Amino acid sequence: MRKRLILTTAIAAVALMALSGCSGGRADTSGAGDTTGFAADATIGVALPSKTSENWVLAGGLFEDGLKEAGFTGDVQYAGASTTVKDQQDQISAMVTSGAKVIIIGAQDGGQLGTQVQDAHDAGAVVIAYDRLILNTDAVDYYVAYDNFKVGELQGQALLDGLAAVKPEGPYNIELFSGNSADANAPVFFNGAMSVLQPKIDDGTLVVASGQTDIKQTATADWKPENAQSRMDSLLTSTYGSQELDGVLSPNDTLARAIITSVKAAGKPIPIVTGQDSEAESVKSIMAGEQYSTINKDTRVLVAQAIDMVKTLQKGDKPEVNDTESYDNGVKVVPAYLLPPVIVTKDNAAEAYANDPKLAPLTK
């Protein structure tokens, strides 16, 4: 399997770990250089981005509790509300100065952390990219995430399935939304979805009536719902005065709800709208028959996997990875542990969230 640059091409590796946290199938323990371990109560830094979704908020609390339970001294920080990356750069630098042995980074902007990550590496810290890949540096040791190209594929297929369910035959008018251009995951989600949707656009089954199919046209600055809502408002005014909008590819739940809000305000029927993150309000929307789908990427499992990697490093061993080919950050292929995402619609929501105490009651 050839190496693929994450920003421009498809990720083909499939995660081999079930959501229960048990690994199966192919596994690989290759990764960063030799480690000598560290004290059981060592400081572990966790630098998370701005609180743009409820999953980032949840992750912070899970890291604080999980690291404490494991005996470590956790230093969990969020970047501020600013759209710049300076807060996070300063936070990582402070973690290096304080002697953090591992720094887990959910990047605010994965392309602007090279200096700080290199400093961490030079100080002997192990760097784990969490959920978002850190780009253009060889100083990132591991990557832990859900299989984000698969997320996009599932979103694209969900859009097709939802359209077919309400109208057996096309053509279907759709619009495309993608995430923040500074987020390394945004093009991966989009490319995954387009690997499913583009053939249907090419054969005329799907029609992007606005003509806006390039990721630069579809991007949503800073993942802000107001930006998605404003763009949807403009699309409805410019393109859908007399035409019907059948579906919208939305990269996450926050933006999906903003898109639906725009459509409702325009007095138009709600189209098939995809999402991601299993946010509570979107699960409610799905059960109410509004948002069509989301993706379950259980933050509890992802945080637990990251903490398990820290525990392994503390013992002086290399963490298990299951993908050593797909995640080329522009300088190196970063050893990754990928978890499998799950598509959720109204039909399988009760089953998908059966073990989630927060979401399960919403599916009754």
pLDDT over threshold 70, residue 279: yes
207 and 76 both lie in a single domain = no
What is the Cα–Cα distance from 205 to 199, expressed in whole angstroms? 9
Q: Is residue 60 in some structural domain?
A: yes
**Residue of 179, 91, 94, 100 whose CA lies nearest to 132:** 179
242 and 176 both lie in a single domain = yes
Task: Give ∠ CA 184-185-189 in degrees, rounded to 5.
Answer: 140
240 and 316 both lie in a single domain = no
The answer to whether 260 and 237 have CB atoms below 8 angstroms apart is no
What is the Cα–Cα distance from 136 to 159, expressed in whole angstroms? 33
Which of 280, 296, 312 marks a domain boundary? 296
Q: Is residue 359 in some structural domain?
A: no
pLDDT in tens, 7-54: 333 333 333 333 333 333 334 444 454 457 999 999 999 999 988 778
Tokens 């959720």 appear where? 344
292 and 314 both lie in a single domain = no
DSSP codes joined into one string, 148-216: HHHHHHHHHHHHHHHHHHH-SS--EEEEE----TTSTHHHHHHHHHHHHHHHHHHTTSEEETT---SHH
Q: Is residue 361 in some structural domain?
A: no
Which of 92-101, 181-190, 308-317 has the weakest average pLDDT? Answer: 181-190
The model's pTM is 0.82
Residue 319 belongs to domain spanning: 43-140+298-340
91 and 107 both lie in a single domain = yes
265 and 302 both lie in a single domain = no
Q: Is residue 335 in some structural domain?
A: yes
270 and 160 both lie in a single domain = yes
pLDDT at 54: 83
Domain CATH code at residue 127: 3.40.50.2300
Express as a percent the part of the chain with pLDDT over 70: 90
pLDDT in tens, 44-72: 999 999 887 788 999 999 999 999 999 99
242 and 186 both lie in a single domain = yes
pLDDT at 21: 37
Question: Rounded to whole angstroms, what are the CA distances from 357 to 190, 215, 283, 296, 346?
Answer: 31, 36, 13, 14, 18
Which of 2-6, 33-37, 93-97, 336-340 has the weakest average pLDDT? Answer: 2-6
285 and 303 both lie in a single domain = no
Sort 68 into a burial class: Cβ within 10 Å, 0-12 / 13-18 / 19+: exposed
pLDDT at 36: 76
Q: Is residue 55 in some structural domain?
A: yes
Q: Is residue 113 in some structural domain?
A: yes
Query: H or E stretch including 45?
Result: strand 43-48
Domain count, the chain: 2
